[in-house]
Structure 1
Amino acid sequence: MRLRTLLVPLLALLLTLVAAPPGSAHPARSQNAGYLFVYFTGEGTADGEQIRYALSRGDDPLHWRELNGGRPVLTSTLGEKGLRDPFVIRSPQGDRFYLIATDLRMYRNSSGSWDQVQRHGSKSVMVWESTDLVHWTDQRLVKVAPDTAGNTWAPEAYWDSRLREYVVFWASKLYAADDPDHTGSTYNRMLYATTKDFRTFSAPRVWNDPGYSVIDSTVIKDRGTYYRFTKDERDPSSGSPCSKFITAEKSRNLTDTSYGFVADCVGSGGGAPAAGPPRPSADRPPPIRQRAIMSSGIPVRCSDSELYAHMLDILGRLVGFDTTSHKSNLELIHYVQELLAGNGIDSELHWNEARTKANLVATAGPGDGGARGVVWSGHTDVVPVDGQSWSADPFTLRLTQDAAIGRGTADMKGFIACCLAILSRTDHARLTTPVTLMLTYEEEIGCVGARHLVEEMRTWQGRVTGCIVGEPTGLDVVVGHKGKQNHRITFTGEPRHAALAPQLPNPIVAAAPLAGPAGSRNEEFRTEGPHDDRFDIGHSWINIGRIDGGVKPNIVPESCVVDLEIRNIPAHACDDIAADLHGHATGALRDGMRALSDVAEVTVEQLSDTPSFAIEPDHAFVTFVREAFGATEDPCYVPFGTEAGLICGHAGIPTVVCGPGFITEAHTADEFVALDQLRGCLDRLTSLPLG
């Protein structure tokens, strides 16, 4: 156990803490007053194990002023009635603080001896909430450790934007399940649980167990990598040269149970053993040498907070361009050209035939020999807002505490904004692998723009590492999706008086039997396959979505239109399914109509084609992306289509789909993407080891 400091950047806190009366307004957020030091003083005095505050003298964490006359600010009346190891975390929305602490009092062995409190100590953490760090809720005692634990020491927390939960971690000695009295010999290891509200926690899991006692972990995140600093609690008599010093490790995934080694014996050259891990401030960059070791991602010439603000500015501009699929995207494309040119990145445009729309390709970094490196791909068009009930202008970005709202924010201008923010701030002279941005038009109506780029992309063979398509997947890495084709079959006859109906072909009657073969094929797909169990619906399907014909009951219909959609698993070609339906319509059904009229006709038209996509989950590029992004869950498969089928299946470029937001949030009124998803996207893209 140790005395532990915590530096939390505060906003105009000094006057608030010193002078604010109860019930006063929250502190102003116009300027920083300093760092808040939340601490306890130890078990030497009766009130030493309660919470105190000190404030730094401006931006100087070496000189402090005690607040509240040095007296406790928070005291405990629950559990062991002592508070040690306080830790404060701010919510990602910035509207709330949580303070957690160890439930333990060692003054005159109030809770027992050091051995006793590690066998029969508290299994809970103490929790408070505040909106201003001055006025706190009543304390609450929340159990987080398992029944096999003997103690719950030094809790800390970190917000995980991937899980969208807080990860709370602490040290516990764990005893055998058949040792309910905890009489055996064991050691401390680090555990964690997750929570959204510090009231309800997941089941605890072991986080760090090197086979000997470790305590007091702390974490800081830098450019998508989590760095964990943990005290080696072995006794110096064990012979370990690192006992009582710090071990540093890293991982792309906060809850990873096997962090990679960085260094041990940290602090051993500086004198006495450490009393807990160092705590870098989130607002102060680590020392230059430390950052050089930590960063192997994309070299961005700004802080994380500046990059995030820059991304939101860009997103506002992108949403402001109405790029509904039937409209031009050139205003947006020219904006992107200018933005990238400002950082020395040239763009190529690939036009549609009418030159009203364009695809954009731009490469940053070493492009010798036409190298394309890692491609970031997104489409610029959005679906219409017609008929939707929006609460405000769809093409004006609105920001709430936790979301960005506007047409295309989820699908997929949020991803494009992240790409542009990074590329416009990247020191591309320091890139060791190129990054190529590819923006397309008319994805929403059949991947038209990407289809026109296929031949160009085929020329990149041998000069491209792979492609990330940033469709909204909740930042999960997707390695497969179904394909989709839309078809229209039109039955045409002669519009005449209904009195002559027995002598004429009826297009509606002729079209109706098309549903029978479609239904039979669907049942065949369901029972006989082919099957692909990677999808929730593991077979292909034909959906007849619209039948439209006729004017009035007293007129023989002139025509009947049948619109249908085919969704196919990757191993089942859409073209084959469509050919069967087309053959039936233009064969037996047309023959039946022509038996009554030579002018009867059946025509077929393919309206769109989004090819299916599949790449092996253990493909080298998939592994590269997952390791860089810190993905621990298995790659997944989704039911919606993307341009990945063209990029991977037709152009031959290894591809994954991964982007911010969720498909359930796309195409809707008040479409939105969570700000945490955008932050996570920036973290992941900048973590790619290309610098």
Structure 2
Amino acid sequence: MNTREWLEALVAFDTTSRNSNLELITTVRDSLEKQGITPWFAHNKERTKANLFATLPATAGPEAGNTQGGIVLSGHTDVVPVDGQDWATDPFKLTEKDGSLYGRGSCDMKGFIAASLALTPEFLQMPRLRPIHLAFSYDEEIGCVGAPAMLEEIQKRGIKVDGCVVGEPTSMQVVVAHKGINVFNCKVHGRSAHSSLTPQGCNAIEHSARLICAIRDFADAYKAKGPYDQLYDVPFTTMTTNQIRGGIAINTIPDLCEFTYEFRNLPGMSAKEIQAQVERYAREELLPKMQKEYPDARIDISTIAGSPALETAEQEAITALVRALTGDREQRKVAYATEAGLFQQIGIPTIVCGPGDIGNAHKPNEYVPIAQLERCEDFLRKLGRSLQTA
């Protein structure tokens, strides 16, 4: 199948993160097995989702059959919901219009996966001295929670890799750095009471508001004082509270309030230290006030998801290679997070480069220009040919 045919097949699978991706993953596995490749899966605990990893061994010279080294082509199979969005076409049916292909995930990021799969037969015919690896993950869109299972298995199997390209939409431009993302859930437990007897209660919503405002204060301090990196469109670490739920009635003091917050840290800033200041405020400032009202009051903070920041040096071989193949010499850093930081965390030098514009991701009528897919195919062919030399 060519890239368009693969993309049509991939978009047809509703792999919204709340759903299983197994039907898509097994379709990819079956195709690879027919070509003599044996992928392996790394499942979630419920075995309802899976990462896929496959190696196309070296094909030439004394290294023929070698599975170590080489380059990983990485992409996530899940997509964001279409709920409440006004689509002009069926989001799970690939539609061509004005030189672009529309459908959920066409840009973010099934286009890159489709191109990688379409080029696989060519890769297998190339006289390569080093392997190519395919790494397709689940649940990237909800905090990069799927890929760690695959990366853990890579380490267990002793697989060594020279570099990785994560094909997130960058308009086929080279991205060498991005922020980290860290997402937390907070449950503030107070005591309920009739609202006419306010002193008998401990208002979980009001105390949550204090913590939420403290998080905003931390965010304002980063905005005002830095540190800064002006290569980012948002050149400082950000912190936001994005969901909140609490209360059962207008005349009842709430005993529980639950909210989620996130921060996106610049490379070099410790995520642990940023989180520590939130927990310190909760423990040392807020909780004592709550326990004066209700001795059993408590604040529970748990991690939902997290992915480290990425910063790949210009001196890394993968950076030099991808810059040479694309002709792109500009240094770019982005505020959104990807799985690239996870690969780098286990010692695999990684850059981000893929078809489509991130500005089209997650929106209704998501699309990828056909010209971008063609550029991606050209890049992948050049990448494969670069592995023909030691």
TM-score (norm 1): 0.53
Distance 2:142 2:222 in 1: 26
Q: 1:587 aligned to 284, 309, 316, which one?
A: 284
Q: Does 1:406 align with 2:98?
A: no
Aligned to 1:393: 90
Q: Does 1:683 align with 2:375?
A: no
Distance 2:342 2:226 in 1: 24
Distance 1:557 1:451 in 2: 37
Structure 1 contact 433–690 (Cα < 8 Å) conserved: yes
Equivalences for residues 187-198 of structure 1 within 5 A: none
CA 358–413 in structure 1, closer or farther in 2 if over 3 Å, else same = same
Aligned to 1:647: 343
Q: What letter is aligned with 2:185?
A: R
Aligned to 2:231: 534
Aligned to 1:674: 369
Deviation of 1:600 after TM superposition, in Å, equals 1.9
Q: What letter is aligned with 2:80?
A: V
Structure 1 contact 461–652 (Cα < 8 Å) conserved: no
Q: Does 1:362 align with 2:58?
A: no
Q: 1:444 aligned to 132, 141, 152, which one?
A: 141
Structure 1 contact 457–651 (Cα < 8 Å) conserved: no
Of Structure 1 and Structure 2, which has the larger fraction of its residues in strand? 1
Equivalences for residues 232-247 of structure 1 within 5 A: none
Deviation of 1:369 after TM superposition, in Å, equals 5.1
Distance 1:325 1:543 in 2: 22
Aligned to 1:40: none
Aligned to 1:333: 25
Deviation of 1:586 after TM superposition, in Å, equals 3.2
Q: What letter is aligned with 1:323?
A: T
Structure 1 contact 465–654 (Cα < 8 Å) conserved: yes
Q: What letter is aligned with 1:682?
A: E
Distance 1:496 1:523 in 2: 35
Q: Deviations over 1:27-81 (max 9, x none)?
A: xxxxxxxxxxxxxxxxxxxxxxxxxxxxxxxxxxxxxxxxxxxxxxxxxxxxxxx
TM-score (norm 2): 0.92
Aligned to 1:322: 14
Q: Determine helix, strand or coil for the equivalent of 1:486.
A: strand
Structure 1 contact 365–429 (Cα < 8 Å) conserved: no
Deviation of 1:531 after TM superposition, in Å, equals 2.2
Q: Deviations over 1:311-366 (max 9, x none)?
A: 11111111111111121111111111122223222211122222211111111132
CA 463–596 in structure 1, closer or farther in 2 if over 3 Å, else same = closer
Distance 2:292 2:98 in 1: 67
Q: Determine helix, strand or coil for the equivalent of 1:411.
A: coil
Aligned to 2:61: none
CA 355–428 in structure 1, closer or farther in 2 if over 3 Å, else same = farther
Equivalences for residues 59-98 of structure 1 within 5 A: none
Structure 2 contact 66–130 (Cα < 8 Å) conserved: no
Distance 1:555 1:523 in 2: 33
Distance 2:323 2:157 in 1: 23
Q: What letter is aligned with 1:550?
A: G
Distance 1:440 1:573 in 2: 26
Aligned to 2:170: 473
Q: What letter is aligned with 2:343?
A: I
Q: Does 1:343 align with 2:15?
A: no
Aligned to 1:636: 332
Structure 1 contact 477–626 (Cα < 8 Å) conserved: yes
CA 460–431 in structure 1, closer or farther in 2 if over 3 Å, else same = farther
Structure 1 contact 340–424 (Cα < 8 Å) conserved: no
CA 462–379 in structure 1, closer or farther in 2 if over 3 Å, else same = closer
Aligned to 1:656: 351
Q: What letter is aligned with 2:96?
A: L
Q: Deviations over 1:136-159 (max 9, x none)?
A: xxxxxxxxxxxxxxxxxxxxxxxx
Structure 2 contact 192–202 (Cα < 8 Å) conserved: no
Q: What letter is aligned with 1:358?
A: A
Aligned to 1:175: none
Max radius of gyration: which structure?
1
CA 463–487 in structure 1, closer or farther in 2 if over 3 Å, else same = closer
Distance 1:379 1:389 in 2: 24
Give unmatched runs, 5+ long, in structure 2.
59-63
Aligned to 2:248: 551
Q: Determine helix, strand or coil for the equivalent of 1:362.
A: strand
Deviation of 1:379 after TM superposition, in Å, equals 0.6
Of Structure 1 and Structure 2, which has the larger fraction of its residues in helix? 2
Q: What letter is aligned with 1:498?
A: S
Distance 1:536 1:550 in 2: 38
Q: Determine helix, strand or coil for the equivalent of 1:409.
A: coil
Distance 1:518 1:595 in 2: 23
Q: 2:113 aligned to 416, 423, 431, which one?
A: 416
Distance 2:220 2:261 in 1: 17
Deviation of 1:368 after TM superposition, in Å, equals 4.3
Structure 1 contact 492–560 (Cα < 8 Å) conserved: yes
Deviation of 1:653 after TM superposition, in Å, equals 0.2
Deviates more, 1:444-453 or 1:337-346: 337-346
Give unmatched runs, 5+ long, in structure 1.
1-308
Distance 1:460 1:433 in 2: 18
Structure 1 contact 343–425 (Cα < 8 Å) conserved: no
CA 538–460 in structure 1, closer or farther in 2 if over 3 Å, else same = farther
CA 424–334 in structure 1, closer or farther in 2 if over 3 Å, else same = farther
Aligned to 1:14: none
Deviation of 1:545 after TM superposition, in Å, equals 2.4
Instruction: Tell me how many residue pairs correspond in the alignment.
Output: 381
Q: Quote the sequence identity (%).
A: 38
Deviation of 1:528 after TM superposition, in Å, equals 3.0
Deviation of 1:537 after TM superposition, in Å, equals 2.1
Superposed CA RMSD: 1.9
Q: Determine helix, strand or coil for the equivalent of 2:46.
A: coil
Aligned to 1:577: 274
Q: Does 1:432 align with 2:129?
A: yes
